[in-house]
Amino acid sequence: MALKRGLNKGKGLAALIDTENVKDSGKGNGNGNNEGVLMLNISQVEPNREQPRKNFNEDELQELAESIKQHGVISPLLVKERDGYYEIVAGERRWRAATIAGLKEVPVIVRDLTEQEILEISIIENLQRVDLNPIEEALAYKRLMTEFDMTQDEVADRVSKSRTAIANSVRLLKLSENVQQMLIDDMISSGHARALLGIDNEEEQFVLAQRVFDEKLSVRDIEKIVKNRSKEKTEKKKLETQFSNVYTDIETKLKDRLSTKVKVTGKENGSGKIEIEFFSGDELERIMDLIGKKD
């Protein structure tokens, strides 16, 4: 099965998964209109170990479990038959909630999928969920690009988002691990995180992220701080260049005058030092004579 079609908003995985050639057990889930759906003992079904999504909201799972107790699992899980069990391709959240609800069986659709198709479907199913945290989302996009050699435009088309949205999401992975964790823990917003990308130093980045949380700084506050730091850095570099040019000129003049290696270093406050090399006592006397000699 080739997953080449774009995923239209609101259409779910049906926009990607063909319903032809579904393995049919010959029995539905009791609703009378679920041809191709197989009822499996819940113990025969296991999660995909490569599942992109790692965090599940316990409160939402409990709410879904209560709904399942009343109405059952309305949408079948998509699974692949493995050696002795069925691996979930899409629907792990429903499976977890069904387990909490105490169900003995769950409805599934069995598909013969390649490993690439399994991973892509798992990623795209998770990307449709609004509670996926920004780092999980960014990692999902990155996997689509690296493991399937997809461009940002192709990923954008596949998940029905703009290329800019994909680019901004993936950029979050350039943040330090500490700041990424703060984003995962909802201590800072994605807007704050993108603004922090303007700081290269990871330690400074983390310190400023902590200020966001402690001082309740807005995104605009962070943008202003980052802009000022960038301006200060540029001015400092410009000043250092000016000092460097002055010192280089002084070094050249002293080298010509003393006929030996000279190094001049300075500090921002105007202080500094001059290093003059000599290789013998006679040469030291010669240099001293030249220093004391009046033009």
Residue 92 appears among annotated catalytic residues: yes
Question: Side by side, which strands form the sheet with 45-46?
Answer: 38-41, 105-110, 77-81, 86-90, 45-46
Tokens describing residue 206? 């983390």
The three state secondary structure string of 138-161 is: HHHHHHHHHHCCCCHHHHHHHHCC
* Six-digit token string for 46: 């296991």
For 87, the token pair is 């691996």
45: exposed, middle or buried (C-beta count within 10 Å: 0-12, 13-18, 19+)? buried
Q: Is 174 left (phi over 0), alpha (psi -120 to 50) or beta?
A: alpha
How many degrees, rounded to 5, is the angle at CA 89 between CA 86 and CA 94? 90
- Of 46, 58, 87, 92, the active-site residue reads 92
Strand, coil or helix: what is 255?
Answer: helix
Show which residues are catalytic. Answer: 92
